Chains A and B, each alone.
Chain A
Amino acid sequence: MNREQHTGFLKFITYELKPKGKILTPFNVISIITILAAIVILAIRFTSGLGSVVHASQERPWGLWINFNVITGVAFAGGAFVVTFMVYILGLEKYRPIVRATVLYALLAYIFYAGALLLDLGRPWKVINPIIGNSFGISSVLFLVAWHFILYMGSLFIEFCPTITEWASLKRQRIFFASLTLAVVIFGIALSTLHQSGLGALFLMAKPKIHPLWYSEFIPILFFISSIFAGLSLVIVLETIGQRVFKDNMSFLHKSSHRYIMLSLARICTVSMFVYFFMTVLVFLHGKNYTYINSPWGYWYLVEVLGFVLLPCMFFLYGYRRRNIQIVRIAAALTIIGIILNRLNISTIAFQWYDRSVHFPTWMEIVVSFAVIFVQILVFRWIVRRMPVYAESPSWVTGEKQNKSFTLKDKSFTLNNKRRKKWKVSTK
Chain B
Amino acid sequence: MGINRRNFLKTLGVVGGTLTVGKSFGAPDSIKKSDTEFSGILYDSTLCGGCQSCEIVCADQYGFPYPDDEPVPGVKRELIETRRVVVNCFNTSKGEQYMRKACNHCNNPACASACLTKAMLKTDEGPVIWREDKCMGCRSCMIACPFDVPKFDYNSPNPKIQKCRMCFELLQEGRQPVCVENCPAEALLFGKRRDLIEIAKARIFAEPEKYNHTIYGEHEVGGTGVIYLASVPFEELGFRNDLGTVSYPEFNKTFLYSVPAVLILWPAFLLGLHSASVERKLNKQQKEEES
Contact = CB atoms under 8 A, between A and B. Distances in A.
A125 to B, nearest CB: 8
Given A58-B148, A413-B281, A140 B140 contact: yes
Interface string B53-89: 0000000000000000000000000101100000000
Interface stretch (A157-165, A202-210, A265-273, A328-336): A202-210
A425 to B, nearest CB: 5
Contact of B278 (A117, A127, A415): A415
Nearest to A204: B251
B138 A121 contact: yes
Contact of B155 (A46, A49, A201, A208): A49
A370 interface: no
A394 interface: no
B136 A129 contact: yes
B136 A121 contact: yes
Identify which of A130, A136, A137, A427 gathers the most chain B CB atoms within 10 Å of its CB. A137
Given A51-B154, A135-B118, A208-B146, A201 B279 contact: no
A361 interface: no
Interface in A388-428: 408, 413, 415, 423, 425-428
B251 A122 contact: no
B154 A62 contact: no
B140 A122 contact: no
Nearest to A191: B263
Contacts of B158: 123
Given A91-B277, A142-B114, A203 B143 contact: yes
B116 A205 contact: no
A124 interface: yes
A50 B154 contact: yes
Contacts of B1: 423
B111 to A, nearest CB: 9
A141 B139 contact: no
**B153, B266, B279: residue with the most chain A Cβ atoms closer than 10 Å:** B266
B13 interface: no
Contacts of A10: none
A205 B256 CA distance: 13
A285 B136 CA distance: 40
Interface in A79-108: 85, 88-91
Interface stretch (B22-30, B36-44, B180-188, B207-215): B22-30
Contacts of A73: none
B251 A58 contact: no
Nearest to B273: A89
A217 interface: yes
Contacts of A1: none
Interface string B115-150: 111110000000000000111111110111010100
B235 to A, nearest CB: 14
Contact of A144 (B26, B117, B243): B26
A205 B113 contact: yes
Nearest to A88: B274
Nearest to A347: B143
B271 A197 contact: no
Interface stretch (A181-189, A234-242, A243-251, A375-383): A181-189
A274 interface: no
Interface string A203-239: 1111111000000010010000000000000000000
Contacts of B152: 58, 61, 122
B202 interface: no
A423 B140 contact: no
B251 A207 contact: yes
A144 B259 contact: yes
Given A51-B155, A61-B139, 9 more contacts: A89-B277, A123-B135, A126-B136, A130-B136, A137-B116, A139-B249, A142-B116, A193-B262, A197-B255
Interface of A: 46-52, 54, 56, 58-59, 61-62, 85, 88-91, 117, 120-124, 126-127, 129-130, 135-144, 146, 182, 186-187, 189-190, 193-194, 197-198, 201-209, 217, 220, 408, 413, 415, 423, 425-428
Interface of B: 1, 25-29, 78, 80-81, 110, 113-119, 133-140, 142-144, 146, 148, 151-159, 240, 242-244, 248-249, 251-252, 254-256, 259, 262-263, 266-267, 270-271, 273-274, 277-282, 285-286, 289
30 contacts: A48-B157, A49-B157, A50-B159, A58-B78, A58-B80, A59-B148, A85-B270, A91-B280, A91-B281, A122-B152, A123-B135, A124-B137, A126-B117, A126-B137, A129-B134, A135-B134, A138-B25, A139-B249, A141-B256, A142-B138, A186-B267, A186-B274, A187-B267, A193-B266, A194-B259, A201-B252, A205-B113, A205-B251, A209-B143, A415-B278
